Amino acid sequence: MNKKFIYTSLALALSFGAMAQQDKNAMKFSAPVNKDRAYSHLSILASDEYEGRETGKKGAWMAAEYIKKQFQSFGLVGPVKNSKDPYFQKVGLVSYDLTSSGFSINGKALQAYKDFNVPNGTVPVSGLNISANEVVFAGYGISKEGFDELNGLNLEDKVVMIFSAGDPTNPQAATAQSNDRAAMRAAMMARQKALGEIAKRKPKALLIIDLNFDKTPLWMKEAGANGRLMLKNEATAAAIQKSPAYASVTISKSTADEILKSSGTNIDALVKKITETVKPASQVVKANITIKAEKKENEVRAENVLGFLEGSDPKLKNEVLVVTGHYDHIGLVKDPNAKDKVNNGADDDGSGTTGVLLLAEAFSKAKKAGNGPKRSILFMTVCGEEKGLLGSEWYSENPVFAVENTIANLNTDMIGRIGEEYLGKPDSANYVYSIGSYKLSTDLGKLSEKVNDTYTKLKLDYKFDDPKDPQQIYYRSDHYNFAKLGIPVIFYYDGMLEQDYHQPGDEVSKINFSLLAKRAQLIYYTAWELANMPNRPVVDKKDETPPRGRN
């Protein structure tokens, strides 16, 4: 056995033993971690004025300024070098947005959003310029035993036209209610399978007939022109050079009828024929088609906000504990007719951002009183979590403090409400989901439990540590970008995934501030121990669970 490991574990054990008696200094300086201070921060961050804090938009910039000013008022230092503002780490974000799109049939130009829509994701950065003199109609695109609409068709380098949904061999699938999740999931999987079979045949474009196209609000169609936010790094540069398997254009029923004119039929007749006979009606239709689209790269302003507290011990201050929470949310409701237009994100993740501010103030006061932590602490609120953990990924690729000196990450993402599993239970207001504490470090997991037993006595629920967790929560917040680097992590979470999740109803009025403060106290005391204990937590595990997807 490794001697270093024995000595380190012994030191940690002694530290745990000392912790059985509460640290008076830790308790004394925990005062700012309270429900009133939490309310003062969250009522601002999650107000309508901040417009839902969407990354790259005004509300997020306002939130970043607010957080920076709080860090400054506490006396934290901005640690970002070679920056106009040392509290801001500029995150290199770009989007590739459509600037124009065109579609014509037999020389007749159609109107974007009225007759057709070109989704951003199927347009390469170089743009589209497709011409064809025929279209292959393949019904619903289904290829299975007893009903093969692709049988005998040559789709390679062709323009193919199919319906957006439905299965004549299974009428119930077509009438599945939107609130029947199992049915909707099955229909989605069937559709993906059909598209996969078509992709194998290498078409150059897919025309998707949406029978409800005329009923789809304009704002929903226009939203598809904007590209998703991406980090401007080597991975993105390589990804955007890869063209999609095929171009895709959503078209209306009238546009499809225009294409079908030369064949002497129309959509209504084809739907009736296929439905009544339950036989394919695939055919090649003569029509001159042109599809064009252009894209442009747009830089997007976004910042991680960093406040640094230097440690007091000359031997330990080069080691850094990172405390994180994402300050972004999903912004304004796109529907112009919505009564409540702001997704306030009070719990997600105004509550976690508030937790970071509470800890930052508490530790700053301890330092001013001469009881600062031995190790350094980086308090960081990140952007772009809702866009794919982008802010924390950027930090992981461009760390301000060396990865090897980062001892742990404590991440707060939604700590202000009572999740579905605990509603109405006797212990409903005395729990938190603790995620990842044992994934990489036995020491960190044990430390977390000892701190909780000593100070807060919350129920630590490890449900989401299960590798078989269908929601894959472990991979869905910013701690994961630290865990990927082999840094021990704890992710604190309330489990609120149904009530108001990503909805305008996630408002300050629904936050349980006493519970938020108690959870934040657990994080504070855990941070206190990590920042002051003799040795950092040992990484003695490797998480072998592959991520199956994130939000």
pTM of the predicted model as reported, rounded to 2 decimal places: 0.90
3-state SS assignment for residue 417: coil
Residue 529 to residue 519: CA distance in whole angstroms: 16
From 374, 382, 375, 412, select the one nearest 398 (Cα to Cα).
382
Q: Which CATH class is domain 96-299?
A: alpha beta
**Among the residues of 114-262, which ranges form H helices?**
171-174, 181-200, 218-223, 234-240, 253-260
Domain ranges, ordered by start, for the chain: 23-91+302-532, 96-299
pLDDT tens per residue, the chain (551 residues)? 343 433 444 445 545 545 557 899 999 999 999 999 999 999 999 999 999 999 999 999 999 999 999 999 999 999 999 899 999 999 999 999 999 999 999 999 999 999 999 999 999 999 999 999 999 999 999 999 999 999 999 999 999 999 999 999 987 665 545 556 677 777 788 888 899 999 999 999 999 999 999 999 999 999 889 999 999 998 888 888 887 889 999 999 999 999 999 999 999 999 999 999 999 999 999 999 999 999 999 999 999 999 999 999 999 999 999 999 999 999 999 999 999 999 999 999 999 999 999 999 999 999 999 999 999 999 999 999 999 999 999 999 999 999 999 999 999 999 999 999 999 888 788 999 999 999 999 999 999 999 999 999 999 999 999 999 999 999 999 999 999 999 999 999 999 988 899 999 999 999 999 999 999 999 999 999 999 999 999 999 987 666 654 44
Tell me, which fold does domain 23-91+302-532 have in CATH? Aminopeptidase (3.40.630)
Q: What is the DSSP string of 426-480?
A: TTTTSEEEEESTTTS-HHHHHHHHHHIIIII--EEE-GGG-TT-TT-GGGSSTTH
Tell me if 291 sits within 8 A of 102, measured CB to CB: yes
- Joined tokens for residue 497: 């995934």
